[in-house]
Copies of this chain bind each other. A is one copy, B any other.
C-alpha cells in the first residue's frame, strides 16, 4: 500500500514516518494490515534524514489543486494530513491561513474523492476549535458534543476542515477521521509562530542552556500531549474502523491538564533548580489572550473508547525529551 504524509518534513511528520516505517504495515480499506510499500513525505521543503527505499520525498504547494491531485494519484490508500499554518501565524496572516489550513484540506478531499476506492484520511484538527471568550463560556470539561466556537482563525479553519472531513466521509467520498490534538510538548527545534510555542520552549530552552521566555502566568493551564503519544494516537486514529466514530468523524485526542507553574517545577525536579532558573516569566498580552481562550480540560470518553491514550505525568515527558535529544 501507498501512504502519504503532508507536512512530512516537519517534526510530527518525520516522527510519524519513522513510526510507520518501523511498523511496516497499515490497515487498508479491506480492514486488513498491508505492507507499506511506498511512504510519500510531502512538504514545502524536502524531508531529510530518511535512508529507506520505501520513502519518496516530494516537495510542492499543498494548496495547489493540481499538485495535490498528482500527489494523491489513483492508488493512495492512506493520507495523514499534517500540513498547516500554526495558530499565531494564521491569526497574523489570515489569507495564508485560509489557503493552507482550509483550501489545501478541501483540495486533498477532492483528490481523494476522485480515487476509485476511497482512502483513509487522518486530518489533524486542534483543541483550538473550542474557544472561551470568558471563563465559563465553554463547559468544564469540554465534551465531544460541545459546540465548536473557535476564537482564532486557526481554530475556524480547523473546524471547517472537520466539517468537510465528516461530510466527505458520510457521502462515502473518503474514509476520514479528524483528530483534535492537544498542545504538543516538548517539541524539539526552534520556537515557532504558534501561540503555544512557549509550552515547549519552557522545557527545551533551559535544557539547552538558553533562557525561555514564558508569556503567560504560572497559573495558566494547558491541555497537553507528548510527541510520542501524539504519534501513537495518530496511528490509532488511522487503524480504528470508521464506524467506531459514530455519526461524527471528529474526536478530542486524550491529553493531560498541566499548570504552567507545575511544568517549571517538574523541570526543576528532573533537571535541577539551576536549569529551571532559566525560565523567565515575561507577560505577553497578545499570546496570553489567545491561550486563555483554549480550554484546558476535556472529557475524552470517545477517544479513550477508540483506544487512544494520554500521558500520565509530565516528569516522564521531560525525561523522554532528554532521551530523544541524545
B residues less than 8 Å from A214 (CB atoms): none
A147 located at the interface, meaning its Cβ lies under 8 Å from any Cβ of chain B in the complex:
yes
Q: Complex Cα distance A24/B147, Å? A: 38
Minimal beta-carbon separation of A95 from chain B (angstroms): 9
B residues less than 8 Å from A153 (CB atoms): 167, 171
Q: Of the candidates B133, B134, B160, which one forms a contact with A164 in the assembled complex, judged by CB atoms under 8 Å apart?
A: B160
Query: B134 near A247 (CB under 8 angstroms)?
Result: yes
Query: B247 near A171 (CB under 8 angstroms)?
Result: no
Q: How many residues of A contact B (CB 8 A)?
A: 28
Q: Of the candidates B139, B145, B156, B160, which one forms a contact with A149 in the assembled complex, judged by CB atoms under 8 Å apart?
A: B145
A264 located at the interface, meaning its Cβ lies under 8 Å from any Cβ of chain B in the complex:
no
Query: A163 near B156 (CB under 8 angstroms)?
Result: yes
Quick one: CB contact mask for A113-138 with B, threshold 8 Å, 1 for yes? 00000000000000000011110010
A-B contact pairs, 26 of them (CB 8 A): A94-B171, A132-B247, A133-B246, A133-B247, A137-B247, A139-B145, A144-B147, A145-B149, A146-B147, A147-B148, A148-B148, A148-B163, A149-B247, A149-B248, A150-B163, A150-B166, A151-B170, A151-B247, A153-B167, A156-B163, A156-B166, A156-B167, A159-B163, A160-B163, A160-B164, A163-B163
